[in-house]
Amino acid sequence: MVLCNPMTCSGFGTSIFGGCSMVWIAMGILFFIIVLSRKWLAEPIGFAWSNIGAFVLGYVAMIATLVFTCSHKYGLAAGILGAFIGAFFGGMVTGEDSGGGY
């Protein structure tokens, strides 16, 4: 079983636009998905959204998936799923409201 390390780029390959660079681009994409999801998805419907829960669970799920699968595609998908689950349950626990709604 091969384990990959996103911090040292071991196990991802050495090509310029693949492997480790794609992992870091996927981490940046996850950041913007979390930030923009609150603004464009949660606020208009008044959804209780927790940024802390989204970032923590999103990046933990992404890094865990990256370590075991060595795939930035699966890592990003797991990160997005983890971010939405973390935002929802974090919002329920803390009672944060995004301020939107009608």
Residue ranges making up the domain that contains 38: 20-94
This prediction's pTM: 0.83
Q: Which single residue is written with the structure tokens 């626990």?
A: 93
* Residue pLDDT, tens place only, 57-75: 999 999 999 999 888 899 9
Question: Residue 10: helix, strand or coil by DSSP?
Answer: strand
Judge whether 26 and 82 are in contact, CB under 8 Å: no
Confidence (pLDDT) at 24: 87
Residue 56 lies in a domain: yes
Domain count, the chain: 1
Residue 72 lies in a domain: yes
Residue 4 lies in a domain: no
Give the integer Cα–Cα distance in Å for 85 and 99. 19
Residue 7 lies in a domain: no
Of 65, 72, 94, the C-alpha closest to 19 is 72
Give the integer Cα–Cα distance in Å for 60 and 100. 28
Residue 1 lies in a domain: no
Confidence (pLDDT) at 33: 94
